[in-house]
Amino acid sequence: RGEAEIFERLLEATRGRTTILISHRFSTVRHADRIVVIEHGEVVEQGTHAELMAAGGRYRTMFDLQAARFAAGLEEDDDELDEEFEREFGGAGHESGGGHDGTEADHG
């Protein structure tokens, strides 16, 4: 509930403006006008939530992993989720030195 309220406030504050939101929480980014998936610093996919789900690529796989955890009633733990993504993608989504690959959303 808290995350949804924050997202709604963000939408209100940025209405009519291009906004870049970086998040690995699909409950947030799926509402964006455009989603960009970045892996190892490179854009690997981009489109709307529906387009990326239909394409069946990285976004779809990560979305399905997160949705399965939610459906199983597992609380989202960022470290556990990073480890799961790392197992699935062989290190994509988690880099040492403070770098983080994930999804970037444009709410413009």
Model pLDDT for residues 50-77, shown as the tens digit of each residue: 999 999 999 999 999 988 888 887 665 5
Q: What is the pLDDT of residue 93?
A: 42
Q: What is the pLDDT of residue 96?
A: 32
Look up the domain containing 88 and give its range: 2-106
Q: Residue 85 — pLDDT band, cuts 50, 70, 90?
A: low
Domains identified in the chain, total number: 1
With contact defined as beta carbons under 8 Å apart, do 59 and 35 qualify? yes
**How many CA atoms, within 13 angstroms, populate the side-chain half-sphere of residue 35?**
26
Beta-carbon count within 10 A of 63 CB: 18
- C-alpha 18/C-alpha 25 separation (Å) is 20
With contact defined as beta carbons under 8 Å apart, do 37 and 45 qualify? yes
Model pLDDT for residues 9-51, shown as the tens digit of each residue: 888 998 899 988 888 788 888 888 999 999 999 999 999 999 9
With contact defined as beta carbons under 8 Å apart, do 18 and 107 qualify? yes
- C-alpha 105/C-alpha 20 separation (Å) is 6
- H or E element at residue 103: strand 103-106
Task: Please say if the pLDDT value at position 101 is more than 80.
Answer: no
